[in-house]
Amino acid sequence: MRTIYFIIWKEFKQIFRDKGMLPIIFVIPIIQLLILANAATFDIKNIKVMIIDKDNSSTSRLLIAKYDASNYFKLVGTTFSNEIADNYLADGKIDMFIEIPANFERDLVRQNMNKMMIVVNAVDGTKGNVGMNYSTSLMNDFNQEIRQKFSTINTTFISNTEEINIIQSNWYNPELNYKIFMVPGILVLLVAMIATFLTAMNIVKEKEIGTIEQINVTPILKYQFLAGKLIPFWLIGMFELAFGMIIASIIYGITFVGSIGLIFLFAAVFLIAVEGLGLFISTISDTQQQAMFIAWFLLVVFILLSGLFTAVENMPGWTQNLTYLNPIKYFIELIRMIMLKGSGFEDTKIHFAVMAFFAISINTIAIWRYKKTV
Amino acid sequence: MKTIIETNNINKSYGAVTALHDINITVNDGEIFGLIGPDGAGKTSLIRILTTLILPDNGSANVLGLDIINDFKSIRNEIGYMPGRFSLYQDLTVEENLKLFATIFGTTIEENYDLVKPIYSQIESFKNRKAGQLSGGMKQKLALSCALIHKPKLLILDEPTTGVDPVSRKEFWDMLKDLKKAGITILVSTPYMDEASLCDRVALIQGGKILSVSTPQSIIDAFPKKLYSISADNMHKLIIALRNFEFSNTVFTFGETVHYTDRRNSVIQTGEIMKYLQNNDLKEIKINEINAGIEDCFMEMM
């Protein structure tokens, strides 16, 4: 016991003395949380649009005004020339353009219908789609308005408004605030990164600078040495999580619907699992460079398969099956469930069971592979 | 006399490279045993096997009567080891390092202070300095203190004096002599042939094979030939000339002179060599018969 305590004491001494590592552990996560949560947004705003107004009537100007007033669009300008709009689109100066044909208003009044063309740059599929959807709903609005306007002049505009009205309501995240959705996930990433990297690097560093040779010749037991290594980073991981949650609630005003205790309970198991992963990485690498590369590679795979940025449900079947092996996915799912929906232990016990299984199996393999020889 | 280390036909290879080939040595109680050989001779491999850090491919060894494979845990409790590379925590202070190793061995600095005192007291005034900021000589003293903190019966040192200045080297050997007086058996490896005479017995090792095990004096006494130290105005020409001499046996540079042995066992006329060298346009030639050192014995055996 005294030995473990001493190794932990030594580890903390070394961490706090390392002028390079200290900021990495404490400052960078904050910065990442501040920046990443804003960068990782699916809200698409400021779609750059140009309107080719060949009609130049009050109706066409009404439509232009609607685009101009919308938060989602940024009206780059109007023109009479398709060629200019084409060039702008090709140069990436605009994301889409709308062509209002000549005599648009006249034909609309006469024939009670008319056509417009919307051209969207679909290189960024999501942005193109969203731009298209926003445009459709904007057009619907516009339709309603001109219907009312013209029905007072021309009786043929019979106001046949839709009989079924769809009203949307978003549960658990009523304002569709992506930060509420993203921040818990980013918290998980930070904790996972800190725990995996620090554990792997720390042990490999001892190999690299040779201190492990001196330690290995001592009667210290494997479990004492490893416990002394894992416990400090476990504590730092828990601290990071608490720290991140405080930042999340102060800066992003995120409230925790469910039990915070349950999140920490899960984090406790999760940290053991990812530290086991770090330990395993350290047993298969001889230099910090190798460890860094392996850890980074695994984390990128885990992050992309975690459902943080893209919904797991949208992935092909075999990829979805792969995500069952991803510890980060379970924590992201669970923290969102608890923080946003207020799920309890009953709803998350599968997550707990799987994570406990990960923690035990990864550590068993890692400890079995860890040898007190050079 | 009690045997502290005994090895039986130890072999070790790394892939195609044979690091150790049928090593048989015995180290007796209370002696300073030197493992002497050039870089890559297999010294570190042998030491790592004896300190239970690596396993031999085959063969067996006993350290303090304990088997290196089955009783490795007990061996680790009993021996003090100082690796060739400084392997203490550079970001911990002198005192913290010592405390850490005392704790790992389940003891305290106070308990065994009398053994480490002569060494530790020399660096105690720097006890709050980080180990990484110590000078080379002080690092050695700290490493030795850490290796001694649990009162080991056997101290194993892997090239402790490599890269250390001559003054610190002498100091270090004096410390080893004091430890020997305190009853500790010492196994030390070194690439410096001149340190052989400081050991009680030495094993000469080269290419993974033990060439000879004996006291330094009997190794020197066993030198079979007469040895000449030859110098001239042009070193390079001198070596080439001697190597081409019809009776030359070994020709090695040794500082500013060349050590030469002849193939003939009979009495050698130095005048004959002198004449030969003069014919090769060499000037200021000096030829002296000298006593062999360990290095000459080593070269002779290779």
State the SS3 of B66-111. EECCCCHHHHHHHEEEECCCCCCCCCCEHHHHHHHHHHHCCCCCCC
Same domain, A183 and A316: yes
CB pairs under 8 A between A and B: 69
- B174's CB contacts (< 8 A; 6+ apart) are none
Provide the shortest C-alpha distance from residue A216 to chain B (in Å).
7
Inside any domain, residue A130: yes
Residue bearing tokens 């396993």: B55
How high is the pLDDT of residue A152?
66
Q: Residues 18 to 57 of A: which have CB under 8 A from any B CB?
A: 18
- Is A365 within the bounds of a domain? yes
A184 and A256 inside one domain:
yes
Nearest CA in chain A to B130: A17
Nearest CA in chain B to A374: B53
**Would you state the CATH architecture of domain B3-220?**
3-Layer(aba) Sandwich (3.40)
**Considering only CB atoms, which chain B residues are within 8 Å of A14?**
89, 91-92
Which residue of B48, B55, B100 is in closest CB contact with A10? B100
Instruction: Give residue A295's pLDDT.
Output: 94
Residue B126 DSSP symbol: G
User: Is the domain of A231 the same as that of A309?
Assistant: yes
**Domain limits, chain B:** 3-220, 227-301
Compare CB distances from B104 to A3, A13, A373 and report the shortest one's residue: A3
Q: What is the pLDDT of residue A326?
A: 93
A96: tokens are: 């889409």
Exposure b/e, A124-159, CB count within 10 A at least 16 = b: eeebbebbeebbeebeeebeeebeeebeeeeeebee
In a domain, A65, yes or no: yes
- Residue A258 gets which letter from DSSP? S
Chain B: nearest CA to A14, how far in angstroms? 6
Give the distance from residue B135's alpha carbon to the nearest chain A alpha carbon, in angstroms. Answer: 18
List CB contacts (< 8 A) between B85 and chain A: 210, 213
DSSP assignment letter at A83: H
Q: In terms of domains, do A230 and A296 share one? A: yes
Contact list in B for residue A18 (CB cut-off 8 A) is 91
Q: Pick the closest to residue B215 from B226, B224, B204, B207 (CA basis).
A: B204
Q: How many domains does chain A have?
A: 2
Residues B12/B54, Cβ–Cβ less than 8 Å: yes
Do A201 and A83 fall within a single domain? no
Only one residue has tokens 């195609």, namely B16
**CB-based contact A230:B92 (threshold 8 Å):** no
| A8 to chain B: closest CA residue | B100
Angle at alpha carbon of residue B88, lines to B85 and B72, rounded to 5°: 80
In this structure, what token pair is assigned to residue A279?
A: 């330990």
A220 Cβ under 8 Å from any chain B Cβ? yes
How close B39 comes to chain A (CA, Å)?
A: 19
At residue A146, the pLDDT reads 79
Q: Min CA distance, B31 vs chain A (Å)?
A: 22
- Residue B66: other Cβ atoms inside 10 A: 19
pLDDT at position A153 is: 62
Q: Which of A6, A211, A373 sits opposite B89 (nearest CB)?
A: A211
Residue A170 included in any domain: no
A251: helix, coil or strand?
A: helix
Closest to B14 in 3D by CA, of B63, B38, B49? B49
Buried b (16+ CB within 10 A) or exposed e, B8-38: eebebeeeeeebbeebebbbeebbbbbbbbe
pLDDT number for residue A308: 83
CA distances from A22 to A159, A179, B104 (A): 68, 27, 27
Cβ–Cβ contact A14 with B under 8 A: yes
CB contact under 8 A, B83 and A373: no
What burial class does residue B216 get, using C-beta atoms within 10 Å of its C-beta: 0-12 exposed, 13-18 middle, 19+ buried? buried
Tens of pLDDT along B203-250?
Answer: 999 999 999 899 999 988 888 888 888 888 888 888 888 888 888 888
How confident is the model at residue A156, as a pLDDT?
A: 55
Indicate the Cα dihedral angle A59, A64, A67, A73, nearest 10°. 160
Locate the chain B residue with the closest alpha carbon to A209.
B87
Burial class (CB in 10 A: 0-12, 13-18, 19+), A27: exposed
Q: Which residues on chain B are in Cβ contact (under 8 Å) with A219?
A: 73, 76-77, 104-106
CA of A216: which chain B residue's CA is closest? B53
Q: Which CATH class is domain B227-301?
A: alpha beta
Task: Tell me the HSE value of A105 on the side-chain side, using a 13 A CA sphere.
Answer: 14
> Strands B58-63, B3-14: parallel, antiparallel or unpaired by DSSP?
antiparallel
Among chain B, residues having any CB pair with chain A shorter than 8 Å are 48, 51-55, 73, 76-77, 79, 81, 83, 85-92, 96, 99-101, 103-106, 130, 146
Pairwise CB contact (< 8 Å): B83 & A210:
yes
Of B81, B218, B213, the closest CA to residue B154 belongs to B81
Residue B223: per-residue pLDDT: 85
**Amino acid letter at B296?**
D
Residues A181 and A326 in one domain: yes
In a domain, A20, yes or no: yes
A2, A10, A373 member nearest B92 (Cβ): A10
Choose from A214, A225, A374 for mutation: most chain B CBs within 10 A. Answer: A214
Residue of B nearest to A4 (CA): B104
Least CB–CB distance from B91: residue in A18, A213, A214: A18
Q: Which of B89, B99, B101 sits opposite A218 (nearest CB)?
A: B101
| Chain A residues lying within 8 Å of B106, measured CB to CB | 2-3, 219
pLDDT tens string B86-113:
899 999 999 999 999 999 998 988 888 8
| B113 CA: distance to closest CA in chain A (Å) | 19
Of the residues A151, A185, A220, which one is the last residue of a structural domain? Answer: A151
Written as six digits, the tokens of A192 are 């996972």
- In the DSSP assignment, the letter for residue A74 is E
Query: Comparing C-alpha atoms, which of B175, B33, B176 is closest to residue B50?
Result: B33
> Cβ contact (<8 Å) for A210 and B55?
no
Q: What is the pLDDT along chain B (302 residues), one digit of tens a residue?
A: 689 999 999 999 998 899 999 999 999 999 999 999 988 899 999 999 999 999 999 999 999 999 999 998 899 999 999 998 889 999 999 999 999 999 999 898 888 888 889 899 989 899 999 999 998 888 989 999 999 999 999 999 999 988 888 888 899 999 999 999 999 999 999 999 889 999 999 999 999 999 989 999 998 888 888 888 888 888 888 888 888 888 888 888 888 888 988 887 666 777 888 888 888 888 888 888 888 888 888 888 87
Among partner residues B83, B91, B130, which is closest to A214 by beta-carbon distance? B83
Question: Residues A11, A69: one domain?
Answer: no
| CA nearest neighbour of B123 among B138, B144, B102 | B138
Are the CB atoms for A244 and B103 separated by under 8 Å?
no
Report the chain A residue with the minimal C-alpha distance to residue B83: A214
Q: How high is the pLDDT of residue A239? A: 92
Q: What is the C-alpha separation between A104 and A114, in angstroms, rounded? A: 7
Q: What distance in Å separates the CA atoms of residue A18 and residue A136, rounded to the nearest whole number?
A: 57
In this structure, is residue A169 part of a structural domain?
Answer: no
Which tokens in the block code for residue A181?
A: 């959705």
Average pLDDT value over all residues in chain B: 89
3-state secondary structure A304-350: HCCCCCCCHHHCCHHHHHHHHHCHHHHHHHHHHHHHHHCCCHHHHHH
Q: Are residues A26 and A52 in the same domain?
A: no
Whether residue A34 sits in one domain with residue A101? no
Asked, for residue A299, whether it belongs to a domain, the answer is: yes
How far is A202 from chain B, CA to nearest CA, in Å? 13
Domain range for A104: 47-151
With respect to residue A254, please indicate whether it lies within any of the assigned structural domains: yes
* Domain identity same for A17 and A63: no
Q: Do A213 and B77 touch (CB under 8 A)?
A: no
Which token pair is A173?
Answer: 């995240």
Question: What does DSSP say about strands B66-67 and B58-63: parallel, antiparallel, or unpaired?
Answer: antiparallel
Crossing angle of helices A21-39 and A178-209, in 10° steps, is: 150
Determine the residue type at B286: K
Q: Do B52 and A217 touch (CB under 8 A)?
A: yes
At B130, phi and psi to the nearest 5? -70, 145
Side-chain-side CA neighbours of residue B192 (13 Å): 18
Which member of A2, A3, A17 has the closest CB to residue B91? A17
Task: For chain B, state the CA radius of gyration.
Answer: 23
On chain A, the residues whose CB falls within 8 A of the CB of B87 are: 209-214
Question: For chain A, which residues score pLDDT lower than 70?
Answer: 40-43, 151-168, 170, 173-176, 373-374
Q: Compute the nearest-CA separation of B130 from chain A (Å).
A: 10
